[in-house]
A and B are shown apart, each in its own frame.
Chain A
Amino acid sequence: MSFPNPTPRPEGELEQLKRIWRPPSGLGFLTVVNNTYIGLFYVGAAVMFFVLAGILALIMRTQLAVPDNDLVSDGLYNQLFTMHGTMMMFLFAVPAVEAMGVYLLPNMLAARDLPFPRLSAFAFWAYLIGGSVFFLSIFWGLAPDGGWFMYPPLTSIEYSPADNADFWLLGIGFIEISAIAGAIEIVCGVLLTRAPGMSLDKMPVYAWAMLVFAGMIIFAFPAVILATLLLELERAFGWPFFIPGQGGDPLLWQHLFWFFGHPEVYIIFLPAAGMVSMIVPTIAQKPLVGYRLVVLAVIGTGVLSFGLWVHHMFATGLPQLSLSFFSAASMAVAIPSGIQIFAWIATIASGKVRLTTPSLFILGFLFIFTIGGLTGVMVAMVPFDWQAHDTYFIVAHLHYVLIGGMVFPLFAAFYYWVPVASRRALSEKVGRWVFGLMFVGVNVAFFPMHITGLIGMPRRVSTYPADLGWGDLNMVSTIGAYLIGAGVLLFLIDVARNFRITSADNAGNVWNAPTLEWLPNDNYATRSIPIVASRDPLWDQPGLAEDVEAGRYYLPNAPTGYRETIVTSPVTAEPRYIVQIPGPGWFHVLAAAFTAACFLLLTVKLVTPAIICGVLAVFFVLAWAWQLDPGPTHPPVDIGGGLKLPVYKTGSGSHSWWATICFLLVAGTTFLCMIFSYLFLWLSNVGDWPPAGTALPALSWASGSAALYLASALLAWGASRTLAAGRLWTSQGLLLLGALPALCGALGVDGWGFWQAGLRPQDHAYGAAVYTILCLTGVFAFTLAIFTPFLTLRAAFGRLDTARRASFDVGLLLFYYTAGQALVGLLLTHGFPRAVG
Chain B
Amino acid sequence: MTVGGALILLLVLALTAYALLAAPETRGWLGSRRTILWGGIAFPTVTVTALLIYGLLVARGIVTPAVGEDVQRVEVVGEQFWWRVRYLDDDGRVLFETANELHLPVGRTVELALTSADVIHSFWVPALAGKLDMIPGRTNILRLRAERAGVYRGQCTEFCGVQHARMAFHAVALEAEAYDAWLREASGPAVEPATSGLREGRERFLQLGCGACHAVRGTGAAGVLGPDLTRIGSRQSLGAGMMPVTAENLAAWIADSQHLKPGNLMPPFDMLPDGEAQAIARYLESLK
Would A and B touch once assembled, by the CB under 8 A criterion?
A: yes
How far does the Cβ of A160 sit from chain B's closest Cβ, in whole Å? Answer: 9
CA of A78 to CA of B39 in the docked complex: distance in angstroms? 43
CA of A389 to CA of B132 in the docked complex: distance in angstroms? 10
The secondary-structure label for the interface of chain A is: helix
Q: Is A154 an interface residue (CB 8 A)?
A: yes
Contacts of B176 in A (CB 8 A): none
Most buried by A among B63, B137, B263: B137
> Which of B49-57, B68-76, B210-218, B226-234 forms contacts with chain A?
B49-57
Chain A positions 791-829 with a Cβ under 8 Å from a chain B Cβ: none
- CB atoms of A74 and B133 under 8 A apart: no
Which partner residue on chain A sits nearest B54 by CB separation? A381
Contacts of B241 in A (CB 8 A): 465
- CB atoms of B20 and A353 under 8 A apart: yes
Most buried by A among B49, B60, B114, B158: B158
CA of A381 to CA of B47 in the docked complex: distance in angstroms? 13
Q: Is B40 an interface residue (CB 8 A)?
A: yes
Contacts of A385 in B (CB 8 A): 130
Contacts of B56 in A (CB 8 A): 324, 327, 382
Chain B positions 120-134 with a Cβ under 8 Å from a chain A Cβ: 120, 122, 124, 126, 129-133
- CB atoms of B40 and A293 under 8 A apart: yes
Which partner residue on chain B sits nearest A160 by CB separation? B161
Known: A154-B119, A244-B136, A461-B165. A382 touches B55 (CB 8 A): yes
How far does the Cβ of B273 sit from chain A's closest Cβ, in whole Å? Answer: 30
Contacts of B151 in A (CB 8 A): none
Q: Is B187 an interface residue (CB 8 A)?
A: no
Known: A153-B120, A327-B52. A341 touches B133 (CB 8 A): no
CA of A389 to CA of B123 in the docked complex: distance in angstroms? 12
- CB atoms of A293 and B137 under 8 A apart: no
Which partner residue on chain A sits nearest B163 by CB separation? A74
CA of A389 to CA of B31 in the docked complex: distance in angstroms? 39
Which partner residue on chain B sits nearest A367 by CB separation? B13
- CB atoms of A346 and B31 under 8 A apart: yes
CA of A694 to CA of B94 in the docked complex: distance in angstroms? 35
Contacts of B120 in A (CB 8 A): 151, 153-154, 250
> Which of A135-143, A312-320, A503-511 forms contacts with chain B?
A312-320
Q: Is B160 an interface residue (CB 8 A)?
A: yes
Q: Is B272 an interface residue (CB 8 A)?
A: no
How far does the Cβ of A56 sit from chain B's closest Cβ, in whole Å? Answer: 16
- CB atoms of A366 and B40 under 8 A apart: no
Q: Is A456 an interface residue (CB 8 A)?
A: yes
Known: A315-B122, A331-B51. A370 touches B9 (CB 8 A): yes
Contacts of B52 in A (CB 8 A): 327-328, 331, 381
- CB atoms of B124 and A458 under 8 A apart: yes
Of A75, A147, A343, A390, the contact of B262 (CB 8 Å cutoff): A75
* Contact string against A for B residues 68-94, beta-carbon threshold 8 Å, 1 for contact and 0 otherwise: 000000000000100000000000000
> Which of A332-340, A533-541, A604-612, A634-642 forms contacts with chain B?
A332-340
- CB atoms of A293 and B36 under 8 A apart: yes
- CB atoms of A383 and B62 under 8 A apart: yes
Most buried by A among B40, B51, B162, B241: B40
> Which of A208-216, A372-380, A724-732 forms contacts with chain B?
A372-380
Contacts of B262 in A (CB 8 A): 73-75
Contacts of B35 in A (CB 8 A): 289, 342, 345-346, 349
Q: Is A350 an interface residue (CB 8 A)?
A: yes
Of B8, B16, B33, B157, the contact of A363 (CB 8 Å cutoff): B16
Contacts of B36 in A (CB 8 A): 289-290, 293, 339, 342-343, 346
Known: A154-B161, A345-B30. A320 touches B12 (CB 8 A): no
Contacts of A345 in B (CB 8 A): 12, 15-16, 19, 30, 35, 39
Contacts of B9 in A (CB 8 A): 370-371, 374
- CB atoms of A390 and B122 under 8 A apart: yes
- CB atoms of B263 and A75 under 8 A apart: yes
CA of A539 to CA of B32 in the docked complex: distance in angstroms? 20
- CB atoms of B137 and A249 under 8 A apart: yes
Known: A293-B40, A316-B133, A350-B28. A332 touches B59 (CB 8 A): no
Given contacts A370-B12, A374-B8, A456-B126, 20 further A-B contacts (CB under 8 A): A75-B263, A78-B164, A147-B159, A154-B120, A154-B161, A250-B137, A315-B130, A315-B158, A316-B140, A323-B59, A339-B36, A345-B16, A350-B30, A378-B1, A378-B2, A381-B1, A389-B157, A462-B164, A465-B241, A684-B137
Cβ contacts A to B, 19 pairs, < 8 Å: A153-B120, A159-B161, A248-B137, A289-B31, A289-B32, A315-B132, A327-B55, A327-B56, A345-B15, A346-B19, A346-B32, A349-B35, A350-B32, A381-B1, A383-B58, A383-B130, A386-B130, A389-B131, A456-B126
B binding-site residues for A, Cβ under 8 Å: 1-2, 5, 8-9, 12-13, 15-16, 18-20, 22, 24, 27-28, 30-33, 35-37, 39-41, 43-45, 48-49, 51-52, 54-56, 58-60, 62-63, 80, 114, 118-120, 122, 124, 126, 129-133, 135-138, 140-141, 153, 155-165, 241, 262-263
For the complex of A and B, the 8 pairs showing the least CB-CB separation, nearest first, are: A386-B130, A244-B137, A350-B31, A317-B140, A342-B40, A349-B19, A381-B55, A349-B30
